Chain A
Amino acid sequence: DTAVSQTPKYLVTQMGNDKSIKCEQNLGHDTMYWYKQDSKKFLKIMFSYNNKELIINETVPNRFSPKSPDKAHLNLHINSLELGDSAVYFCASSQVPPTSGVGETQYFGPGTRLLVL
């Protein structure tokens, strides 16, 4: 069973189009994330949701809008795609450990490779 899944795995589209990426986790975690990884492998957090509420919103253009219909799903919609949006987008999830003072392990999906032409 896949813990964190994303669809689609590959997405090739034209500039100016609107596209969505879906993410689902079956780990029962409370928190989900979207990351962007560029061609140099740098990983940048975009958004984080905890129990369907937005808790982290880094400096991401308004063209990116996350939606969490329930705590197992976090989707990412991108309007008016630009060349610079080409990257790999990773969904991840985590759970607050029961022991206080312990940080959270993140579980990543396989990634969505977006290419904007």
Chain B
Amino acid sequence: GNSVTQMEGPVTLSEEAFLTINCTYTATGYPSLFWYVQYPGEGLQLLLKATKADDKGSNKGFEATYRKETTSFHLEKGSVQVSDSAVYFCALSESHTNAGKSTFGDGTTLTVKP
């Protein structure tokens, strides 16, 4: 079956530090890959996605590149802000067959200190 493994947290950084959250996956087909972010007290929301190998998703200064050879989709940001403090989920979704289902990682909690 499909699975997503992401870097264990919590991660604590100082403002303007470089962020990497690792994510690797196993899938039977050719999935699309996602990063979702959950701010305190809110639901998950899409941060970025990539639908095929070598695609780069980007949003709000975050980036992730779909690496098929290493089955990875690591999240990066060059300079984090206090407002980036949240839980980050890596996820995959294969093309719809007869059931729409995403597989989520366990989430990584990021705290950014001023």
Contacts and interface: CB of A to CB of B under 8 A. Distances in A.
Interface string A64-98: 00000000000000000000000000101010110
B73 interface: no
Interface in A31-45: 31, 33, 40-43, 45
Contact of B102 (A50, A97, A104): A104
B95 A56 contact: no
B75 interface: no
B6 to A, nearest CB: 12
Contacts of B46: 105-107
Contacts of B34: 103, 105
B44 A102 contact: no
Interface residues of B, number: 32
B42 A106 contact: no
A50 B99 contact: yes
Contacts of B94: 103
B3 to A, nearest CB: 13
Nearest to B31: A103
A110 B42 CA distance: 5
Most buried by B among A33, A43, A100: A43
A53 to B, nearest CB: 10
Interface string B31-73: 1111010100011111001011000000000000000000000
B44 A90 contact: yes
Contacts of A104: 32, 93, 96, 100, 102
Interface of A: 4, 31, 33, 40-43, 45, 48, 50, 55-56, 90, 92, 94, 96-97, 100-111
